[in-house]
Amino acid sequence: MIAYLDSSVLLRVIVGQPGQLSEWSEIERGIVSALVEVECLRALDRLRLQGSFSDEELTRMREGVFRYLDSFEVVQVREPVLARAAQPMGVMMGTLDALHLATALLWREEVREEPVIATHDRALGLGARAFGFQVVGV
């Protein structure tokens, strides 16, 4: 399966949270926005500061983020993505969700392949379905 993944999917795997994507093992090609690195590392740091895990656990989880990113196709946030995210989406969504959806839309148009959108975020899932994507995780 070709899948565009947002940070919610990767974080559940790295942190070992319940409700991980059941289709995780079926992903043969992962596509992510460069935003995922920032989102994941910020979330991990927040959790550590809240006392959810130790510095050693944080280091291990950060290494996991970098390992996964090395295995995924990372799409940079450039002007076309920003311009597309600024356009009306037809459904209510925040800025980061709009950037993820715009990235997936432009990737689909450029590569001419149909990724599945993997997310645990309801707004992103709804927006992706509105643009004809198959969505898993919500």
- Characterise 26 by phi-psi region: left (phi > 0), alpha (psi -120 to 50), beta (else): alpha
Per-residue pLDDT at 4: 98
Measured at the alpha carbon of residue 74, what is the angle toward residues 68 and 80, in degrees to the nearest 5? 155
> Given this model, what pLDDT does residue 90 score?
85
What is d(CA 74, CA 20) in angstroms, rounded to the nearest whole number? 21
CB 121 within 8 A of CB 97: yes
Asked if 5 and 31 count as a contact pair (C-beta separation under 8 A), the reply is yes
Q: What is the pLDDT of residue 50?
A: 92
pTM for this predicted structure: 0.93
State the 10-residue block means of pLDDT for the chain, 138 residues long: 97 94 96 97 94 91 97 97 94 95 97 97 96 97
pLDDT (0 to 100) of residue 52: 87
Domains and CATH numbers, the chain: 2-136 (3.40.50.1010)
